[in-house]
């Protein structure tokens, strides 16, 4: 039976979300489904911000960063009243199925809506790569390229001035961006939520590096681990390195999606339609060992977090 499918993006935007939207819309229309865009995440859903999407609605977006549907964070969507309101809106439009692109928060909302009778599929869209049910999330590869580009640039100036650069990267308590970027950039140290490296370890390591004639150093650190301004001050006071703290911030979420992200997003978008058209619901899709795979959302949310400690060990001199 043909479906009426709503699609939305939620949580932090990620490069490649547009490629996923495009793939869903085109695959759905090819199968005879009707497609609807829900604007600005769950917030837009409960405010009835819904428009039909046709082939042309998703033309020339595969290469664009951000999300043409807009996004928002709405933690309050855990409340049953808001979920019921969302269902009423969807019923008003005769929308029976939903594809949500985002992270774990998006998946929780979808699971709640599936209990209320809506068919739901989640796709992993976040630069953090912090979703256990997929090896890679849409947006991670692009963000990694952005971080590597920035750190390479910092290295030029940092080495010219014989400084230590402390670079804070995003990740929302997941160390993947820091570990992959640290390894790719040849950082001296990588610090994440998982590493047990103390301030004292960092100072001692850098002091030793300085003593042995090292001219400059790069420390890549995940956000939410420590105050990097304070760390830079302490490094400057105690190690002999002049130090600078750099937060890469939201620029990590922008930019044109990498070819790998476009390909991943397109495969997952097609797969989401295949799942819905086969009446598979309350699931999230991912890429696991290079194969498309889906999990029940509740099972997916219980999966243990992937650890990046092994990678950090390869990337970092201590840890």
- State the DSSP H helix or E strand holding residue 100, giving kind and residue range, or none if neither: strand 97-102
Q: Using the rule CB under 6 A, which residue among 20, 74, 110, 127 binds ligand F6P?
A: 127
Q: Using the rule CB under 6 A, which residue among 40, 67, 114, 172 binds ligand F6P?
A: 172
Tally of CB atoms within 10 A around 256: 16
Query: CA triplet 270, 276, 277: central angle to 5 degrees?
Result: 90
Q: Which stretch binds ligand F6P (CB under 6 A): 60-68, 83-91, 121-129, 201-209?
A: 121-129
Smallest separation, CB 247 to ligand F6P (Å): 11
Smallest separation, CB 224 to ligand F6P (Å): 7
Which lies closer to ligand F6P via its Cβ, residue 38 or residue 127? 127
Which lies closer to ligand F6P via its Cβ, residue 146 or residue 270? 146
- State the DSSP H helix or E strand holding residue 242, giving kind and residue range, or none if neither: strand 242-247
Place of tokens 């609807």: 36
Q: Using the rule CB under 6 A, which residue among 3, 22, 119, 253 binds ligand F6P?
A: 253
CB 215 within 8 A of CB 162: yes
Distance between CA atoms of 288 and 306, rounded to whole angstroms?
A: 12
Which lies closer to ligand F6P via its Cβ, residue 126 or residue 133? 126
List the one residue out of 223, 183, 210 whose CA is nearest residue 319: 183
Which lies closer to ligand F6P via its Cβ, residue 75 or residue 259? 75
Active site residue 128: yes
Q: Using the rule CB under 6 A, which residue among 15, 109, 171, 257 binds ligand F6P?
A: 171
Place of tokens 């004292």: 200
Q: What is the largest CA-CA distance in the chain?
A: 72
- Active-site positions? 128
Binding site for ligand F6P (CB under 6 A): 11-12, 73, 126-128, 170-172, 223, 253
């Amino acid at each position: 039976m043909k479906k009426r499918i709503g699609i939305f993006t939620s949580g932090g935007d990620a490069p490649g979300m547009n490629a996923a939207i495009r793939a869903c819309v085109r695959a759905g229309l090819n199968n005879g489904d009707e497609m609807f865009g829900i604007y600005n995440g769950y917030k837009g859903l409960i405010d009835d911000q819904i428009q039909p999407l046709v082939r042309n609605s998703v033309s020339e977006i595969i290469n664009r960063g951000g999300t043409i549907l807009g996004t928002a964070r709405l933690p309050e969507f855990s409340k049953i009243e808001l979920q019921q309101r969302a269902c009423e809106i969807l019923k008003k439009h005769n929308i029976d199925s939903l594809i949500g692109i985002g992270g774990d928060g998006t998946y929780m909302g979808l699971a709640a809506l599936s209990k209320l009778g809506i068919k739901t599929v989640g796709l992993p869209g976040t630069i953090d790569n912090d979703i256990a049910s997929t090896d890679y999330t849409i947006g991670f590869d692009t963000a990694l390229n952005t971080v590597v580009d920035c750190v390479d640039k910092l290295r030029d100036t940092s080495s010219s001035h014989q400084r230590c650069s402390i670079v804070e990267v995003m990740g929302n308590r997941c160390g993947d961006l820091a570990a992959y970027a640290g390894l790719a950039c040849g950082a001296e140290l990588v610090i994440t939520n998982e590493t047990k490296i103390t301030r004292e370890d960092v100072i001692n390591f850098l002091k030793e590096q300085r003593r042995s004639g090292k001219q400059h150093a790069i420390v890549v650190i995940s956000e939410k681990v420590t105050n990097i301004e304070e760390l830079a001050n302490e490094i400057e006071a105690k190690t002999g390195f002049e130090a600078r703290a750099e937060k890469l911030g939201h620029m990590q979420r922008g930019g044109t999606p990498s070819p790998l992200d476009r390909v991943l997003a397109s495969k997952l978008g097609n797969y989401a339609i295949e799942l819905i058209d086969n009446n598979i619901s309350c699931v999230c899709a991912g890429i696991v060992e290079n194969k498309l795979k889906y999990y029940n959302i509740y099972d997916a949310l219980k999966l243990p977090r992937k650890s990046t400690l092994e990678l950090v060990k390869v990337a970092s001199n201590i840890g």
